[in-house]
Structure 1
Amino acid sequence: MLVAVDIAQLISPRIVQRAIDYIIATYAAAGNDYSYLGKLTLLIFALAIAIGIFRFFWRMIIIGMSHFIEMDFKNRLFKHLLLLSNSFFTKTKVGDIMAHMTNDMTAVRRACAFGVIAGFDAVFLFSATLVFMLTLNTKLTLYAMIPLPIIVLISLFFVRTLFRKFKSVQESFSLLTGKVREMISGIKIIQAFQQEEPESKNFDKLSQEYLGKNISLIKIWGTMFPLIFLFAEIGMVIILWVG
């Protein structure tokens, strides 16, 4: 289904090209026969509907399977934790275990879904598009690829930064969940010594740190993709300028 969607996406611009060429040729010949244009329009609509249908089904299949994989990983991790000795839980923070059971599993699910889709499109769609463009015009294709090395460098730089930020978020989440467990298990002691306000301030501080690190991570995401799209559009500008 992914292949079908990618092929349909490659065919659509070709049909639009034929439609534009036909309009120009018909106008130049002072003709009024637009029946062929109507057929091309219907074909474009048919491709759009087909892309929508196939995209719906592959999303249902791939994203649905990613949830099953996440559930299976969680079950396996939980069963593994039950077999570990008491010394492991003495040395390991509860927050770290919670981070592995929640955020890490969410990352695995996303990798199994959108990671697979992005990886497939990066290989198949990019290769097919490159071949398609080279068959049309080799010179314009080479000009369009000028921003590509910059996009690769931007991606490599931000991926490393994202990894560090994500790790920092995980560590902050571990501290936060560990504090929650500590406060809940020791709530009677906290109340007995009237430490509600200091503990509340400490928890609020950890929450603010977790929020700040998440915002920092989102800022990196919000900077990376606009830059990538900017240089991708620069390639389009180069094509229009040269062509």
Structure 2
Amino acid sequence: MKALWRLNKYLYNYKWYLFWGILFTFISNIFVIIPAQLVRIAIDYVVESFSYYQLYEEGSVVRDLARSVFLKYILVFGLLILAMALLRGLFLFLIRQTIIAMSRLIEYDLKNEIYRHYQSLPLAFFRQNSTGDLMARITEDVSKVRMYLGPALMYGINLLILFPMVIGYMFTVNVPLTLYSLMPLPVLSLSIYLVNNMINERSEKIQRSMSGLSTFVQEAFSGIRVIKSFVRESDSARQFKKASEDYKEKSISLTRVQSLFFPLILALIGLSTIITVYVGGIQVIEGAIGYGVIAEFILYVNMLTWPVTSLGWVTSIVQRAAASQTRINEFLDQKNDILSTENIVRDIEGSIKVENLSFVYPDSGIRALDDVSFDIAAGQSLAIIGTTGSGKSTIANLLMRMYDATSGRILIDDTDIRAYDIAHLREQIGYVPQDVFLFSDSITNNIGFGLGKELDVIRIEQAAKDADVYQNIVDFPKGFDTRLGERGITLSGGQKQRVSIARAIAKSPRILLLDDCLSAVDTKTENAILNALEKIMKGRTSIIISHRVSSAKLADQIIVLNDGMMVENGTHEDLMLAKGSYAELYEKQTQQAGEVE
């Protein structure tokens, strides 16, 4: 239960829902006990009245009068029992409107807290944890916790209120009969607990099997072109059949266990009823109790059956909720170590100075940068060239403060980057990633993503023109209102890159970071984007990260990275004269471009 203590703050926030839920539960149970008492009184009245009724001669006026009075009282008892049932139904409705509604409100708050916390965590957290795991904790785990806060809490409170009320009253009526009639109930609770654990265990196996089956089908249909190209349809069908067979066997195994559930309950309820009738019958014969007491106790046993049955079920829910909350707490306890030292909020000019920068990725231990230094004046441009794995993108991540340097420092406008307010700093940096990510939304909302809630249509259109994608957009039937498919699948590779560039420049950043954003486009599209970039970069501090030297020609200064170390630094002309790594790379790529043409 320790893991679930964190939820107490939510219970405190909704304490009035809980208070009224407990009060309604207490009142509803009063309307459970009273009908049983009315049944006892009614049966005893019927038995006693019938014995007197038989004393009168058939057809006599007194007999007819006694019969009408007798039926009138029976009708009154029936109406009272019906009224009690309706009142109980009303309060059961109110219980659900308080306790179950409270659980839904807490579920809403908990999901929002987890989501907000996810967004506050550094990039390293998302590299270490899979998207599936993040999703599972905010959906499945929260749902299990809600079951504890809703049904488990509701039935638990009902059990704590109903048991003392009913058993206490049963003891006042007849102690021996109470003890005998309640004998099977602990066995029932333990049995349900064991069966529930078996059901939960098999259900989780089925869930995992279903997840694997869904993943297989999704991959098969996403890669249907590859499957057809390599004529692997029959092999894919065999693999699906094998996965389906595993799911089928686990489902049948669950069905076998579930088939024990209701027979077990009915058998133990039946046993309680038989014991009650047998022991009660002996006491009736001895004259200790009336017939009505047996009927009353049978009703009490049936009243207690579901609460006792739910005890095993509730225990199982609490265990699962505790396990889920432990998983949720594990992520909620993760702290963001990327913090601002001084929270400086000011507009930047854009000069960048990198001093002896080194970085080791915390999750993998890979040394990405080793003692790198360079300067960029405000409004100037720098190209960072290097092969895959040379540390180019790591510099972009450090400038955006997705990570903090292992050693060395980065200065923007002669102020350490760690002193700036992180959100304010990032607002002034336009970032174009290598792997373009566009949302399943309109083109307007994608380009205006960095502008906040109030979208400036003029700025969005101007950004599209600057990125040389305006004409492509207006040619669509719905223009800027065109909704993009998943990850921007509606657009071509070049269009996606240019929309991504438009999104970066729409917020008028002082620093523009282009992280190998031309790697996935052809030469013709690259030239079109480079022409657009030439205008975009004017007046902005720009960093072009690329493995293509064609992009580097736009820059005022070029550095070449190799295995995390800076091996060359200078202008395009200087590096060509030096005949080093840059010149060698330039010649190779120029020859390849010529061969392609």
TM-score by length of structure 1 reads 0.81
Is the deviation greater in 87-96 or in 125-134?
Answer: 87-96
Deviation of 1:67 after TM superposition, in Å, equals 3.1
Is the deviation greater in 28-37 or in 6-15?
Answer: 28-37
1:9 to 11, 32, 46: 32
Change (3 A) 1:72 1:122: same
- Give the equivalent residue in structure 2 for 1:129: 166
- Give the equivalent residue in structure 2 for 1:115: 152
- Give the equivalent residue in structure 2 for 1:67: 104
Deviation of 1:151 after TM superposition, in Å, equals 1.8
Partner deviation per Cα, 1:121-140 (whole Å, 9 max, x = no partner): 22221222211211111001
2:91 to 47, 54, 65: 54
Alpha-carbon contact 2:42-2:77 (below 8 Å) kept: yes
1:45 equivalent to 2:82? Answer: yes
Q: How does 1:87-102 map to 2 (within 5 A)?
A: 92-102=129-139
Which secondary structure state, in structure 2, belongs to the residue aligned with residue 48 of structure 1?
helix
Partner deviation per Cα, 1:14-73 (whole Å, 9 max, x = no partner): 101111111112112223322333322221111111112222232233333333333333
Deviation of 1:162 after TM superposition, in Å, equals 3.2
1:20 to 21, 31, 43: 43
Alpha-carbon contact 1:66-1:113 (below 8 Å) kept: yes
Once the two structures are aligned, what percentage of the paired residues are identical? 33
Deviation of 1:212 after TM superposition, in Å, equals 4.2
Task: For 2:253 and 2:107, locate their aligned partners in 1 and report how far apart those are by CA, in whole Å.
Answer: 26
Which secondary structure state, in structure 2, belongs to the residue aligned with residue 12 of structure 1?
helix
Change (3 A) 1:135 1:224: same
1:145 equivalent to 2:168? Answer: no
Which secondary structure state, in structure 2, belongs to the residue aligned with residue 29 of structure 1?
helix
Aligned residue identity for 1:235: S
Aligned residue identity for 1:236: T
Alpha-carbon contact 1:99-1:173 (below 8 Å) kept: no
Deviation of 1:203 after TM superposition, in Å, equals 4.1
Structure number, greater radius of gyration: 2
Which secondary structure state, in structure 1, belongs to the residue aligned with residue 178 of structure 2?
helix
Alpha-carbon contact 1:66-1:109 (below 8 Å) kept: yes
Gaps of 5+ in 1: none
Higher strand share: 2
Task: For 1:208 and 1:59, locate their aligned partners in 2 and report how far apart those are by CA, in whole Å.
Answer: 40
Deviation of 1:227 after TM superposition, in Å, equals 0.8
Task: For 2:254 and 2:118, locate their aligned partners in 1 and report how far apart those are by CA, in whole Å.
Answer: 30
Change (3 A) 1:199 1:174: same
Task: For 2:131 and 2:236, locate their aligned partners in 1 and report how far apart those are by CA, in whole Å.
Answer: 18
Change (3 A) 1:194 1:99: farther
Which secondary structure state, in structure 1, belongs to the residue aligned with residue 183 of structure 2?
coil
Change (3 A) 1:220 1:114: farther
1:233 equivalent to 2:267? Answer: no
Aligned residue identity for 1:8: F
Deviation of 1:146 after TM superposition, in Å, equals 1.9
Change (3 A) 1:64 1:28: same
Q: How does 1:201-216 map to 2 (within 5 A)?
A: 201-216=238-253
Change (3 A) 1:154 1:203: same
Gaps of 5+ in 2: 1-23, 54-65, 281-597
Alpha-carbon contact 2:195-2:261 (below 8 Å) kept: yes
Partner deviation per Cα, 1:78-116 (whole Å, 9 max, x = no partner): 344444555655555554445444443433333332212
Aligned residue identity for 1:133: M
Deviation of 1:194 after TM superposition, in Å, equals 4.3
Change (3 A) 1:227 1:69: same
1:36 equivalent to 2:73? Answer: yes
Greater RCO (CA < 8 Å, at least 6 residues apart) = 1
1:175 equivalent to 2:206? Answer: no
Task: For 2:176 and 2:184, locate their aligned partners in 1 and report how far apart those are by CA, in whole Å.
Answer: 15
Q: CA RMSD in A?
A: 3.0
Is the deviation greater in 1-10 or in 80-89?
Answer: 80-89
Task: For 2:82 and 2:141, locate their aligned partners in 1 and report how far apart those are by CA, in whole Å.
Answer: 41
Change (3 A) 1:112 1:136: same
